[in-house]
Amino acid sequence: MQRLAIYDMDKTITAKPTWTRFLLHVARTRAPWRLALFPVIGLGGLAYLARGLDRAGLKRLSHRLLLGRALPPAEMAAVAEAFADLEMRSGVLQGALAQIAADRAAGYRLVMATASHHYYAEAIGRRLGFDDVIATNAKRDGQGHILSELEGENCYGPVKLHRIENWLAAEGLHRANCYIRAYSDHVSDAPLLGWADEAFAVNAHGPLAKLAAARGWSQLDWRRP
């Protein structure tokens, strides 16, 4: 029996969402003039709330404005590693660190599954000791430069569970032979939490807290000191 502990990242492991902070970190590091474009992303956020733009579209727009059309792999790796260092110093919840350590000690294979982009989520996951990272992927051009377009779908909601199932198959793991714990802060991960053997609503917002109470899922708050 393979034991897996699957963690969401933003606001589950980290205190705050990471995407916007990553974008600002890269813009300040590489091209400060791009910070003047940030209000346009705010307009994109309003379009998302009005359902005129989906999450993937908002991600493409913000990437294009603050990261540029294409980043060489070495440059992306450098800014991703620097951002991961910053996140480890001040952005990771102590309760998350304790649970990750407990799951590792109990023999669980640690898997991060996040809608955040793989190019920086992997760097954070590596520092936290995760064995595997499943995340949103960016397209690359013929020279390997990272583009603003997505490779496949945004790793969010039902897509995240589908990506995890594909990962299991690629690893030669059968669901019936796995015992799975899942941790998330957001109701969008209800498909994953319902699929897991143990579901943990962590730092849950209102809709997830209500759903967790109805379904008998454990509720944890890692935001407390």
Amino acid letter, 85: D
List the single range of 49-53, 65-69, 107-111 with lowest mean pLDDT: 49-53
What does the pLDDT read at residue 53? 85
- Whether 193 and 201 have beta carbons less than 8 Å apart is answered as yes
Q: Which long-range contacts (CB under 8 A, 24 or more apart) does 201-204 make?
A: 202/8, 202/12, 202/96, 203/11, 203/12, 203/93
Which string of b and e fits 63-84 if b means at least 16 CB within 10 Å? bbbbbbebbeeebbbebbeebb
Q: Is the pLDDT of residue 123 over 90?
A: yes
| Share above pLDDT 70 across residues of the chain, in percent, rounded to a whole number | 100
Residues in the chain: 225
Q: Is the pLDDT of residue 224 over 80?
A: no
* Coil vs helix vs strand at 155: coil
Please provide the average confidence, as pLDDT, over all residues in the chain: 95
Task: Return the higher-pLDDT residue of 43 and 194.
Answer: 194
Element containing residue 97 per DSSP (H, E): helix 94-105
Task: Return the higher-pLDDT residue of 199 and 224.
Answer: 199
pLDDT single digits (tens) 23-54: 999 999 999 999 999 899 888 888 888 888 89
Q: Is the pLDDT of residue 104 over 90?
A: yes
Q: Is the pLDDT of residue 17 over 80?
A: yes
pLDDT single digits (tens) 135-171: 999 999 999 999 999 999 999 999 999 999 999 999 9
Quickly state the pLDDT bin for 125 (edges 50, 70, 90): very high
Q: What is the mean pLDDT of residues 89-115?
A: 97
What does the pLDDT read at residue 103? 98
Quickly state the pLDDT bin for 225 (edges 50, 70, 90): low
State the sign of the Cα–Cα–Cα–Cα dihedral 78, 81, 84, 86: negative
